[in-house]
Amino acid sequence: MNEFRVHNFLTFYLPPLILVCLSYAFLNKDSRAFIYLSGYLVTYLAIRLEIHHYSNRWGYHRDPKFVKTLVVSELVVLGFLLPTIFTYSTRATLVRNILIYLILSVGVFELISLEYARLNWQGCLMLSISLSIVIFALTYSMLIPSMFVPLALWACLVVRHDLKLYV
């Protein structure tokens, strides 16, 4: 199967797959998996929205470098950092963790925008595989990182194919 077919397959089947896993986590009362999978769904929808804005040329979305940086940073920030912070927060630490999240989000975006010239799609893929290994080490569950990998692969293929949803 070539990468174009994988790209189109993931664009079409990733949301139903995330929703099925989300309902599985809800029915099994696995709150950690439910939070992570909700973050993955939000990440997918945010990346789709950025691509929609890029295709309609709204605001800063006319620059493909900016949108590619935004796609990779949304994968890291919304797909990894936000669910991890929400999973390990209590009522007492929620506000502090949200402030840490906001600071780290800006830092991640700046780091990715500075390293954009060296960040190709293989680098994006290696970053996402390493994040899925970290997710596995944090959660001890195969469901959560196995859903992050197709999301990350889809985001990397979107970056590689010049921000097109269907190729």
Residue 141 predicted with pLDDT over 90: no
Percentage with pLDDT > 90 across the chain: 41
Task: Convert the chain into a string of H (helix), E (strand) and C (coil).
Answer: CCHHHHHHHHHHHHHHHHHHHHHHHHHCCCHHHHHHHHHHHHHHHHHHHHHHHHHHCCHHHHCHHHHHHHHHHHHHHHHHHHHHHHHCCCCCCHHHHHHHHHHHHHHHHHHHHHCHHHCCHHHHHHHHHHHHHHHHHHHCCCHHHHHHHHHHHHHHHHHHCCCCCCC
Residue 115: per-residue pLDDT: 82
pLDDT in tens, 7-65: 788 888 999 999 999 999 999 999 999 999 999 999 999 999 988 888 887 777 788 88
pTM: 0.90
